[in-house]
């Protein structure tokens, strides 16, 4: 389990990454398409992404040399401690480069294959979600608030979010997601990692996504679970490796959503 030192360190990592990333936001910066070389879909990266991850890695390499590091922008660093820091410096780069604030820095501590500590930091609006699986908090200019999901009796009463309704779903996933949308009270798109923060705050009831990488989701698992929510893959199994993920604030909505996502 994470220690007080781990919590102190993850706050420092978020602070250092935010100090690097923040000056690039809403500035005219170079955007490189990582997907161009392979013909894959547009996959942007900027100096903010790379600089933020470098800042995090520099601290970890100095203070936790035995821990591994798995990040989006640079090769994995193997460790010997059984602990791995999983990092996405700017989750939601598309939002970042279009001047929207629905992005964040994701940092997780994975211990023996399980994320036990996670941070979602939005350094521009100064909101930081932190979870341990047992509890979750929002740190903001208004102070520290305990996070708790809201009750929702059924999918028909639920607010559903996803980052993009077709870009990240294949044809069969699109069909399943469309049925899920039709059964929900309301749907909203474009949240990236911030949608999970909204779920932990009790403003959203369900998030469904696909094609996620470990660094896209591991930091969010302790936050959702710490706020009392449920987060799994589309079959109800573990989702720390990414892929298809569904998160819900209420177990009843989660169970109902699984039926639509496995129809």
Counted residue by residue, the chain has a size of 263
Q: Considering only the top CATH level, what class is 155-261?
A: alpha beta
Q: Residues near 3 by Cβ (< 8 Å), separated by ≥ 6? A: none
Helix (H, G, I), strand (E, B) or coil at 28: coil
Predicted local distance difference test score (pLDDT) of residue 118: 98
Angular region, 99: left φ>0, alpha ψ -120 to 50, beta rest: left
- The 10s digit of each residue's pLDDT in 128-182 is 999 998 999 999 999 999 999 999 999 999 999 999 998 899 999 999 999 999 9
What homologous superfamily is domain 4-146 in, according to CATH?
Fructose-1,6-Bisphosphatase, subunit A, domain 1 (3.30.540.10)
Same fold, 4-146 and 155-261: no
Per-residue pLDDT of the chain (263 residues; tens, 9 = 90+): 899 999 999 999 999 999 999 999 999 999 999 877 777 788 899 999 999 999 999 999 999 999 999 999 999 999 999 999 999 999 999 999 999 999 999 999 999 999 999 999 999 999 999 999 899 999 999 999 999 999 999 999 999 999 999 889 999 999 999 999 999 999 999 999 999 999 999 999 999 999 999 999 999 999 999 999 999 999 999 999 999 999 999 999 999 999 999 97
Predicted local distance difference test score (pLDDT) of residue 82: 94
Nearest to 126 by CA among 141, 145, 108, 147: 141
Predicted local distance difference test score (pLDDT) of residue 40: 75
Rounded Cα distance between 24 and 45, Å, is: 12
CB 103 within 8 A of CB 125: no
Q: Residues near 41 by Cβ (< 8 Å), separated by ≥ 6? A: 35, 167
Q: Residues near 163 by Cβ (< 8 Å), separated by ≥ 6? A: 92, 189, 190, 191, 192, 195, 209
Q: pTM for the full model?
A: 0.96
CB 50 within 8 A of CB 15: no
Q: What are phi and psi of 246, to 5 degrees?
A: -135, 130
Helix (H, G, I), strand (E, B) or coil at 130: strand
Q: Domain ranges in the chain?
A: 4-146, 155-261
- Scanning the chain, the segments in alpha helix (DSSP H) are 4-21, 47-63, 93-97, 171-183, 194-201, 214-217, 220-226, 251-261
DSSP element (H, E) containing 245: strand 243-248
> What is the token pair recorded at 224?
């959702």
């Amino acid at each position: 389990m994470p220690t007080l030192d781990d919590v102190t360190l993850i706050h420092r990592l978020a602070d250092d990454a935010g100090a690097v990333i923040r000056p690039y936001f809403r500035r005219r910066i170079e955007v490189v398409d990582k997907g161009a070389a392979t013909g894959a879909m547009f996959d942007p990266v900027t100096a903010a992404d790379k600089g933020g991850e470098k800042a995090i890695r520099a601290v970890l390499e100095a203070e936790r040399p035995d821990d591994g590091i798995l990040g989006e922008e640079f090769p994995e660093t193997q460790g010997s401690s059984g602990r791995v820091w999983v990092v996405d410096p700017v989750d939601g780069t598309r939002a970042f480069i279009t001047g929207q604030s629905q992005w964040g820095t994701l940092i997780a501590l994975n211990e023996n294959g399980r994320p036990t500590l996670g941070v979602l930091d939005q350094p521009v609006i100064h909101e930081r979600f932190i979870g341990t699986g047992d509890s979750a908090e929002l740190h903001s200019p208004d102070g520290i608030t305990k996070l708790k999901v809201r009750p929702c009796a059924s999918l028909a009463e639920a607010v559903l979010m996803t980052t993009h309704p077709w870009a990240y779903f294949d044809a069969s996933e699109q069909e399943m997601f469309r049925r899920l949308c039709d059964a929900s009270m309301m749907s909203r798109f474009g949240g990236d990692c911030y949608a999970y923060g909204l779920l932990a705050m009790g403003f959203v009831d369900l998030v469904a996504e696909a094609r996620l990488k470990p660094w896209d989701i591991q930091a969010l698992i302790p936050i959702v679970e710490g706020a009392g929510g449920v987060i799994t893959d589309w079959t109800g199994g573990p989702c720390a490796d990414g892929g298809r993920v569904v998160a819900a604030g209420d177990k009843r909505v989660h169970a109902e959503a699984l039926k639509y996502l496995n129809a």
